[in-house]
Amino acid sequence: MFSRKAHAPIRTLVGDSTVLRGELRFADGLRIDGEVQGDVLAEPEAGSLVVISEKARVHGKVKAAHVIINGSVCGPVTSTEMLELQPKASVVGDVHYEVLEMHPGATIDGELKPLKATERPALTLAAANDA
C-alpha cells in the first residue's frame, strides 16, 4: 500500500576501518561504515542516497535526497526526500527534512525543520515490530 521508491544504487563505500578527512561528494548512493571528518554532499542531489551505518561517524554536514542514519552525525543534516533515523542514530545538529521517519531510540540534539512550511510536517514515528 505504501510502496517506497527504488533506492539509488550504492556505488561508493567508506569501509569500517577508513577515516576520511575532507569534503566527500558523491553521485547515486553512498554507504559509510567508517569515519568521515568533513561534509558529505550528494551531487546531483535528486535521487541520491546516503546510508550511515551503526558503526559510522560523520563530523560535518550531510546532504542528500534520501538519508538513512543508524550511526552518529555531528553536524546539520538535510534530506530533500526522506530521512530515516534508525534505533541507534544520534544527530547533534539541526535536521532539515521533507519526510522524517524516526525509530524509538534515535536521538536528535538540535532543531527539527521541515523544508516546506506546512501546518503539519510530514513526520512518521516507526512502530516497534509486534513479533
CA dihedral 54, 110, 104, 106 (to 10 degrees): 10
What pLDDT score was predicted for residue 2?
A: 46
Average pLDDT in the 27-42 region? 96
- CA 98 and chain centroid, separation: 12
What pLDDT score was predicted for residue 1?
A: 36
44-58 burial string, b = 16+ CB within 10 Å, else e? eeebbbbbbbeebbb
Alpha helices in 61-128 (DSSP H): none
Residue 41 pLDDT > 90 = yes
* β partners of residue 123: 100
Q: Residue ranges per domain, the chain? A: 10-113
Residue 4 pLDDT > 60 = no
Average pLDDT in the 51-56 region? 97
Residue 22 pLDDT > 70 = yes
User: Average pLDDT, whole number, for the chain?
Assistant: 88
User: Considering the entire predicted model, what is its pTM?
Assistant: 0.85
Residue 94 pLDDT > 50 = yes
